[in-house]
Amino acid sequence: MGKMKSKGVRKMKSLMKKISMVFLLCMCFTITAEAYDDSYYIPEDNWPEAPEITAPTAVLIDAESGMVLYAKHADARRFPASITKLMTALLTIEDSSLDEQMVFEKEALGTLPPGYVSIYASEGEVMSVRECLYALLLPSANDAANGLAVHDAGTIAAFAEKMNQRAVEAGAMGTHFVNPSGLADPDHYTTAHDMSLILRQCIRYPEFLEIAGTVKHTIPATNKSAARYVDLTHQMLKKTSPYYYEYAVAGKTGNTTESGRTLVTYAKKGDMELICCVMQCEDGEQFLSTKALFEYGFRNFEVLSDRKVEQDIGSVKTEDTAFRFMEGSRKFRLQLTGTELVKPVSVSLDKLDTKIVYLNPTEEENGCFAELQYFMRDKQLGSSKVKMEILNEVVAGGKIIPQHSSPLHNSDFMLFLICMAGIITTLWIGWMAAVKDIRKNRQEKEAEAAEKIETVETAAEKAENTEEEEQIEEIVAQKCEEKTEAEEKSAEETDAEDEKESVKDNVNPEAHN
Q: What is the pLDDT along the chain (513 residues), one digit of tens a residue?
A: 444 445 554 555 555 554 444 444 444 333 333 333 344 566 767 789 999 999 999 999 999 999 999 999 999 999 999 999 999 999 999 999 999 999 999 988 987 888 789 999 999 999 999 999 999 999 999 999 999 999 999 999 999 999 999 999 999 999 999 999 999 999 999 999 999 999 999 999 999 999 999 999 999 999 999 999 999 999 999 999 999 999 999 999 999 999 999 999 999 999 999 999 999 999 999 999 999 999 999 999 998 876 666 655 555 555 544 554 455 554 556 677 778 888 899 888 878 888 888 777 666 666 777 888 888 877 888 888 887 666 554 444 434 344 444 444 444 555 565 667 767 777 778 778 888 888 888 888 888 878 877 777 777 777 666 766 677 777 777 777 777 777 777 777 777 666 666 655 555 544 443
Predicted local distance difference test score (pLDDT) of residue 97? 96
The CA distance from 160 to 461, in Å, is 84
pTM: 0.68
Measured distance between the N- and C-terminal CA atoms of the chain, rounded to whole angstroms? 100
The CA distance from 294 to 232, in Å, is 21
Task: Name beta bridge partners: 264.
Answer: 252, 277
> What's the half-sphere exposure (Cβ side, CA atoms, 13 Å) at 297?
30
Sign of the Cα torsion 211, 212, 213, 219 reads: positive
Reduced to 3 states, what is the DSSP secondary structure of residue 170?
coil
Predicted local distance difference test score (pLDDT) of residue 394? 42
Predicted local distance difference test score (pLDDT) of residue 19? 47
Predicted local distance difference test score (pLDDT) of residue 464? 67
DSSP string, 493-511: HHHHHHHHHHHHHHH-SGG
User: Residue 109 gets which letter from DSSP?
Assistant: H
The CA distance from 407 to 388, in Å, is 7
Among 396, 404, 384, residue whose Cα is nearest residue 331 = 404
DSSP H or E run through 373: strand 368-376
- φ, ψ of residue 166 to 5 degrees: the values are -70, -30
Per residue in 94-130, pLDDT tens? Answer: 999 999 999 999 988 987 888 789 999 999 999 999 9
> Chain-centre distance of CA 184, in angstroms?
31
Per residue in 238-287, pLDDT tens? Answer: 999 999 999 999 999 999 999 999 999 999 999 999 999 999 999 999 99
User: Residue 300 gets which letter from DSSP?
Assistant: H
The CA distance from 479 to 491, in Å, is 18
